[in-house]
Structure 1
Amino acid sequence: MKTIYSVLALFFVLASSSLAAQSQPAVIDQVIARVGGEFILLSQLEEQFAQAAGQSNTPLPPEARCQLLDQILVGKLLFNKSKLDSIEVSDGEVESQLNARIDRILGYMGGSIEQFEDYYGQSITATKEQFREDLREQISVERMRGSIIQQVKVTPAEIKDFFAKIPRDSLPYFNAEVEVGEIAVKPEANEDTRELTVARLEEIQERITAGSLTFEEAAQKYSQDGSARGGGDLGWTKRGKFVPEFEAAAYNLDPGEMSGVVESEFGYHLIKLQERRGNTIRVSHILIRPEITDEDVEESRQFLDSIANLVRVDSFSFSFAVKRYGTDKVQSYNNDGRMTNPASGNTFFEIGDLDPDIYFTIDEMEIGDVSEVMEYNDPRGEKMLRVVQLQSRSSPHRASLSQDYAKIQEATKQAKQQQFLSDWIEKTIGETFIMIDKRYQGCPAVKNWLNDSRKLTVGGARASAEK
């Protein structure tokens, strides 16, 4: 249980400073640094230090606070620059990620809202308000970082040079690995079930219109997504956030108006426009998904099995089958069916990284073999079907260009990106007002911020710190 709660605490680590500020004496909220227009509070540093200490099996070194402050300064520099470069993070995107995090935490807690509120000491709505701006900052920082390093490319010569500079006795040793492809399909509800779902929403719509229940009450009672707890409220968002069918219906409504039944890839909706501010809207919805019957699953299973058989007899390639018959709602679709290892970001899986069902399926397969149809649940908990193909298998070995080119290429790229980002940080510090409290100016990691900053800024920083 302690481990689970540690995960929950880390899930909202981005908002820890504001939570700490509530529980610590007022003196903790001192400004200890400034980067452009962004301020760093002592409470932020102390909270991150406490978290790091709690996760470490040994006492933190004396320089830990200095290193953490350096990391916070980098984040604030990126955030400050994201504002100057007008990098936008929509309200809808923030709301979507907040809802996803809340849903995942509730999943750890067995869906218990009471347990959630007891752990965080406030309601779900208050928790979302607490975290919203911190999450927006986190997204902005990552987007800014991505925009800086996206232009970094590596050539074959750079990859070979990078590998050649690694001492022979320092070359990594790779365990046995496999590459796995998949063709995934989502069972679809039959026409009768779809009609029943539409009829159910139309009956709910009539009750709302008649005034026997409000839209918010109906959403809380019937809607089948995370927004139900908030009465279906999806927050403020701009064009481009929702799927086309939903967005077209939402933007055609007047404030206070409710739509008819709208179909999207997620199911069937009733939509209510709450408010409009120019091109930004705030909408609520009621979502009901048609029930997928055992017969629907079996029909999809037979279809996918026939596709797998055609691949086995070379009627067409696995890659063609992915594009022609697989769903484009899975990550592997845009990679010719190759599954990506979330632990490494590449397509190679060690045995321990594989889903157990996939591991036991491919254990006796030869390269190129295609499995029988397997059933699984996607991240939203929806039932899916897939067949997998064993595309490569390697034995344990020391890294080599011939066997591990893709990995070495990625390592080369990451090293180049890190150097490019470091150069960018050094350059941007010199163009940015930097203030650091005199208590931290002796930190080796922090000295670079003052040394790289403009001399006028350094003088201002010291003067500010001494006041």
Structure 2
Amino acid sequence: MRNKLQYSIALSLIISVLNLGALSAQENLMIDKVIAKVGTQNILLSDIESQYAYALEQGASPSPEAKCGILESLVGQKIVVHQAKLDSIEIPQEQIETSLDFRINSVLRQMNGDEALFEEFYNMTVNEMRDNLRDDLEQQMLAERMQAEILNTVNITPKEIKEFFNAIPSDSIPYLSASVEISEIVAKPEVSEEERIKALKQIVDIRKRIVEEGESFGELAKKYSDDPGSGSKGGDLGFAERGIYVPEFEAAAFSLEENEISEPIESVHGYHIIKMIERRGNQINVKHILVKPNINESDRMLAKEKLDSLRVEIMEGKYTFSEAVKKFSLEDVPSYHNNGKIMNPNTNKPLFETGELPSEIYFAIEEMEVGDLSEPLAYPLPTGETYYRLIRLDHKIKPHKASLEQDYAKIQQFAKESKKSAYFSSWLAEKISETFIEVDKDYFNCPNLEELISGDRI
């Protein structure tokens, strides 16, 4: 039983972080009490209930076992924090406040900077929320720092990787899906001068209607802005600090006085006019109207034709693929700085299982040989824009039973994670035996915690 609990806690700490978002107005009404003591650390009833409520919101089924699981995980977290303090590990206060600001500001941005709405939703002011979260956040950061220090020492040798793989029963070795490595050259359709002038004329006209004719900035934003996120809110972008906006927009926005409306400015997104609503310390709340120059069909066709010509030049040897990336690919895409190689966002490695690929790439490379280039493919972006790209198939592995020869990197990763888990479980077992633990057994009858109770019942 002890081994089961140690593994459960170790796994929880390795793959999860303490949830700080499970707060509700009801929490303030709860009669709080200490449920467990771990060294110098207390676990409160509110800690259990807030995480349990959050789990229910995420679709978990209500059960006493779920609360026991939360308590077991918190005991493990408190052991790590207790040990971090014994080892004199500290998190600088400035780092805690920066992380706290990021969390609070993220929520406020979703609420359009409306602190009254924030207070109504959470039943506390922004400053009260900061005070409410500060200790929990510090403990989370301490646990993460301590865990990183413990696990950073874990390395794995080729011999251990081989032993890990050979220990898997032959009938349990998994079959792996087909996987590929791919690279890209990306082109963005260029706006014609005619469409650029048309967009500029429109934004100038909109500004004139506001400044000279007294029309509502918000109403015109709803009617004309090409920013769907803020347009429906009358152009309101909420509160933001420096570093949030693109440079041209930020420079103009921060230079405005209250209620001042900027001249038209151009950014990578198109033409804007900006209205200053309010300054609050180093934050500003502005509205904007965005007019994007239209990309017409002839612009798209021109981009595709350029890529098609480039494809022929690469195939004929005029450019190597790497040279073509540096000379012609769009610098804003991450692959540009990696010789065109596309990284899997789920693993941050270049290997994709074919099921992870966008459908247009999957079908384009299905019959390709390694080294082949695709025809120009549409590359739809979350913004609604469409770029185009050539895809090169760099490497291809067919569906197969896992083996050290073909899948060494994957097996190495699995073996290292397994060793980390075992190492952390062993570390935790040692600290459990050294740490004074009390649990309120009358309130939570959690059998997995029975052996850990070293003090009297609370």
After TM superposition, is the score higher than 0.5? yes
Partner of 2:199: 197
Q: Does 1:337 align with 2:340?
A: yes
| Matched residue type, 1:444 | N
Distance 1:139 1:189 in 2: 47
CA spacing shift, 1:394–1:228, aligned 2, 3 Å:
same
Relative contact order: is structure 1 or structure 2 higher (C-alpha 8 Å, sep ≥ 6)? 2
Which residue is equivalent to 2:176?
Answer: 174
Counterparts in 2 of 1:30 and 1:256: CA distance versus 1, 3 Å: farther
Provide TM-score, normalisation by structure 1.
0.69
Alignment of structure 1 residues 69-88 onto 2, 5 Å = 69-71=71-73, 84=93, 86-87=95-96, 88=98
Q: Does 1:290 align with 2:293?
A: yes
**Cα distance in 1 between the residues matched to 2:23 and 2:143:** 23
Distance 2:153 2:303 in 1: 42
Amino acid at match of 1:225: P
- Structure 1 position 183, deviation (Å): 1.7
Residue in 1 aligned with 2:323? 320
Instruction: Give the drift of 1:390.
Output: 1.2
In structure 1, stretches of 5+ residues that fail to align are 1-13, 103-122, 452-458
**Structure 1 letter corresponding to 2:200:** V
Cα drift, residue 301 of structure 1: 0.9
Q: 394-403 or 381-390, which moves further after superposition?
A: 394-403
Task: Look up the equivalent residue of 2:409 and give its one-letter code.
Answer: A
* Separation (CA, whole Å) in 2 of partners of 1:129 and 1:75: 31
Residue 427 and residue 250 in structure 1: after superposition, are their counterparts in 2 closer, same or farther (change >3 A)?
Answer: farther
CA contact (8 A) 1:225 1:287 kept: no
Say whether residues 1:50 and 2:56 are aligned partners. yes
The structure 2 residue matched to 1:210, chosen from 195, 209, 212, is 212
1:394 to 380, 392, 397: 397
Q: Does the CA-based 8 Å contact 1:33-1:41 persist in structure 2?
A: no
CA distance in 1, matches of 2:143, 2:195: 46
Structure 1 residue 162: Cα displacement: 3.4
Residue 55 and residue 303 in structure 1: after superposition, are their counterparts in 2 closer, same or farther (change >3 A)?
Answer: farther
Among 276, 281, 287, the alignment partner of 2:279 is 276
* Structure ID, larger Rg: 2
For the residue of structure 2 that corresponds to 1:230, the secondary structure is coil
Label 1:85 to 1:25 Cα distance change in 2 as closer, same or farther (>3 A): closer
Q: Displacement of 1:29 after TM fit?
A: 8.4
User: What is residue 220 of structure 1 aligned with on the other side?
Assistant: 222
Out of 345, 350, 367, the residue aligned to residue 347 of structure 1 is 350
Separation of aligned partners in 2, 1:351 and 1:257: 52
Q: Determine if contact 2:36/2:437 at 8 Å carries over to the other structure.
A: yes
Contact 1:178 1:390 in 2 (8 A): yes
Task: Give the equivalent residue in structure 1 for 2:186.
Answer: 184
Q: Deviations over 1:245-278 (max 9, x none)?
A: 1111122222322211122222222122223344
User: 1:256, 1:92 → 2: CA distance?
Assistant: 27
* Alignment partners' CA distance in 1, 2:417 and 2:383: 31
- Deviations 1:28-76 (CA, angstroms, capped at 9, x unpaired): 9888689979974554233245356x467xx97x533222344567889
Helix, strand or coil at the partner of 1:310: helix
Residue in 2 that maps onto 1:365: 368
CA shift, 1:146, in A, is 8.8
| Counterpart residue number, 1:5 | none
Shift of the 93–231 alpha-carbon distance from structure 1 to 2, 3 Å rule, reads: farther
Q: Which amino acid aligns with 2:395?
A: S
Amino acid corresponding to residue 360 of structure 1 in structure 2? F
TM-score with structure 2 length normalisation? 0.70
**For residue 311 of structure 2, what is the amino acid of its counterpart?**
A
In 2, Cα distance between the equivalents of 1:425 and 1:213? 66
Greater shift after overlay, 291-300 or 229-238? Answer: 229-238
Over 3 Å counting, the alpha-carbon distance change for 1:261 and 1:139 in structure 2 is: farther
| 1:144–1:242 distance in 2 versus 1, CA, 3 Å | farther
Asked if the contact 2:185/2:329 (under 8 Å) is kept, the reply is: yes
How many pairs are equivalent? 410
Q: How far apart, in 2, do the equivalents of 1:205 and 1:74 lie?
A: 59
The letter of the residue matching 1:254 is E
Shift of 1:353: 2.3
CA distance in 1 between partners of 2:221 and 2:102 (Å): 19
When residues 190 and 154 of structure 1 are mapped into structure 2, their CA distance, relative to the original with a 3 A threshold, is farther
State whether residues 179 and 352 of structure 2, in contact with CA within 8 Å, keep that contact through their aligned partners in structure 1. Answer: yes
2:243 alignment partner in structure 1: 240
2:34 touches 2:42 (CA, 8 Å); kept in 1?
A: no
Q: From the superposition, tell whether residues 306 and 98 of structure 1 become closer, same or farther in structure 2 (CA, over 3 Å).
A: farther
Indicate the larger mover: 397-406 or 379-388.
Answer: 397-406
Give the SS at the match of 1:180: strand
Distance 1:196 1:366 in 2: 45
CA deviation after TM superposition for structure 1 residue 198, in Å: 1.5
Q: Could you tell me whether the CA contact under 8 Å between 1:234 and 1:285 is conserved in 2?
A: yes
Corresponding residue SS for 1:86: helix
Q: Structure 1 residues 74 and 312, CA, compared in 2 at 3 Å: closer, same or farther?
A: farther
The worse-fitting range, judged by mean Cα deviation, of 271-280 and 409-418 is 409-418
Q: Counterpart of 2:393 in 1: which secondary structure?
A: strand
SS in 2 for 1:275: strand
Cα offset, 1:26, TM superposition = 5.8
Residues 377/91 of structure 1: CA separation in 2 closer, same or farther (3 Å cut):
farther
Check whether the contact 1:159–1:412 (CA below 8 A) recurs between aligned residues: no
State the identity %: 35
Q: Residue deviations 1:282-306, cap 9 Å, x none?
A: 3222222211111111111112222
